């Protein structure tokens, strides 16, 4: 079996560990930047390259990132991954599922359609419309519609300050995606799902004086055993996207659990450090067994 890992601009610890696990359980693995991929389509079939190396016929591909790009570059990369899938490569996570989870707009309506609890969410490109919609919320959280690790997210209790941010976003041609801010009990939950089970879970505890619970933003972690109710929520969320694996973020509130996000290429360094589980190896073992059977 020939495997490949596609990443964005630069390697991170997760991709390096995934590469090591692939080499261990699959064999020599191709490590490739997605922007260096090329393809041919003709009457004699399809062919693919990474740089100058032909990789036509690769069996398994881990899609970890579309990388930084323009709209046209993203369109090409998404289409190329779909082309690779249609040519017989098993892509993890599947391109359509990964794209839906990567885009917060499609992510949130997919969760809502599945009947899962979500925060009230607004999407627009008009600053004045966003300002009027914000009036119904005590506090709002703006999030980049495509982003990760909590970078760029902003919380506003002063709606005039929020309006200034909305105007800047409108001026730069950026969509305005914001949600009601839900009070946290000083933490939220990250559940890591592989297949039809929760591999492990942890609390992400907010740093003192902060509001974000991302590990990349300094949150501390604690291992937990999810209740059956929360396991069901995490599994249902993952299934709503047809993801093979996912990081599911859940907030406990007085009205029950609320789903914050589903990540189709989650980081696992914090979870691994907290639980001692080698996530990359468990993921590779699951996928290889799935492909071979």
pLDDT tens, position by position, 102-156 = 999 999 999 999 999 999 999 999 999 999 999 989 899 999 998 776 678 899 9
Q: How far is CA 241 from CA 12, 24, 99, 102, 145, in A?
A: 25, 29, 10, 11, 17
Q: Contact, 65 vs 7, CB < 8 A?
A: yes
DSSP 293: -
pLDDT of residue 222: 92
Q: How far is CA 206 from CA 176, 211, 219, 293, in A?
A: 25, 6, 5, 42
Q: How far apart are CA 288 and CA 89, in angstroms?
A: 13
Q: How far apart are CA 112 and CA 166, in angstroms?
A: 25
The tokens 């949150």 sit on which residue? 219
pLDDT of residue 185: 80
pLDDT of residue 211: 65
pLDDT of residue 207: 77
Element (H, E) at 156: strand 154-156
pLDDT of residue 212: 76
Residues of the chain with pLDDT under 50: none
Ordered domains of the chain (ranges, CATH)? 3-92 (3.40.50.20), 121-180 (3.30.1490), 184-288 (3.30.470.20)
Three-class secondary structure of residue 198 per DSSP: strand
Q: How far apart are CA 2 and CA 109, in angstroms?
A: 36
pLDDT of residue 254: 85
pLDDT of residue 150: 63
Cβ within 8 Å of residue 272, ≥6 positions away: 278, 279
Can you read off the two tokens belonging to residue 46?
């399809």
Supply the pTM of this predicted model.
Answer: 0.93
């Amino acid at each position: 079996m020939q495997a490949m890992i596609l990443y964005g601009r630069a390697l991170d610890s997760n991709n390096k560990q995934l590469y090591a696990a692939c080499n261990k359980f699959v064999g020599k693995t191709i490590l490739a930047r997605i922007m260096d991929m090329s393809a041919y389509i003709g009457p004699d079939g399809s062919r693919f390259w990474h740089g100058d190396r032909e990789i036509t016929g690769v069996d398994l591909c881990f899609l970890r990132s579309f990388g930084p790009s323009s709209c046209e570059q993203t369109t090409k990369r998404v289409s190329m991954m779909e082309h690779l899938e249609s040519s017989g490569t098993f892509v993890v996570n599947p391109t359509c599922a990964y794209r839906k989870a990567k885009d917060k707009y499609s992510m949130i309506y997919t969760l809502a359609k599945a009947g899962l609890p979500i925060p009230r969410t607004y999407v627009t490109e008009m600053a004045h419309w966003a300002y009027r919609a914000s009036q119904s919320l005590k506090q709002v959280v703006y999030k980049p519609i495509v982003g990760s690790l909590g970078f760029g997210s902003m919380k506003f209790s002063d709606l005039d300050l929020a309006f200034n941010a909305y105007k800047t976003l409108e001026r730069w041609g950026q969509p305005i995606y914001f949600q009601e801010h839900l009070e946290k009990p000083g933490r939220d939950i990250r559940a890591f799902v592989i297949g039809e089970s929760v591999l492990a879970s942890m609390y992400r505890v907010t740093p003192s004086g902060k509001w974000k619970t991302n590990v990349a933003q300094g949150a501390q972690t604690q291992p937990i055993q999810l209740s059956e109710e929360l396991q069901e929520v995490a599994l249902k969320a993952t299934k709503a996207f047809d993801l093979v694996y996912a990081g599911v973020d859940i907030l406990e509130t007085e009205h029950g659990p609320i789903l914050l996000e589903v990540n189709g290429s989650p980081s696992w360094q914090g979870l691994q450090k907290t639980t001692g589980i080698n996530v990359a190896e468990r993921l590779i073992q699951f996928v290889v067994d799935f492909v071979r059977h």
